[in-house]
Amino acid sequence: MRDKPSVLFVCVHNAGRSQMAAGWLTHLAAGRIEVRSAGSAPADQVNPIAVEAMREEGIDITGEQPKVLTMDAVESSDAVITMGCGDACPVFPGKRYEDWQLDDPAGQGIEMVRQVRDEIRTRVERLLTELTS
């Protein structure tokens, strides 16, 4: 048994929503939770607008790279949060799954990305409370 829960955030490109969610949880959990993110079809780089939106909140995700979703990553996570990857996301019995319906920030301006960022923060705060209480 691990000493802390692990969460995997998954979206298609692992460039926007899942990276912002991982950034928020890493920041807010302050080491209490193992945080991962991946994509079913990873992009070449993290969305620069998502990076900018997170920087406004004092969270630096510039060092992140989109990663490919693996069965191992899902299997070794306690909670899997998907964001619009549909059937591409594998399911394992006994895992906690949530699908967060969030607009895709790809190709969007900073105003829209800020809204998604703030919605993600609210959901991450709720998830953190559930995992640590």
Residues recognised as catalytic: 11, 85, 89
Give the pair of three-digit tokens for residue 46: 């993290």
Q: Which of 80, 115, 83 is nearest to 94 (CA)?
A: 80
Give the pair of three-digit tokens for residue 72: 């191992």
Q: How far is CA 32 from CA 62, 119, 120, 128, 132, in A?
A: 22, 22, 19, 9, 8
Q: Please report which helix (H) or strand (E) contains residue 35, including its range.
A: strand 34-39
CA distance linking residue 89 with residue 41, whole number of Å: 11
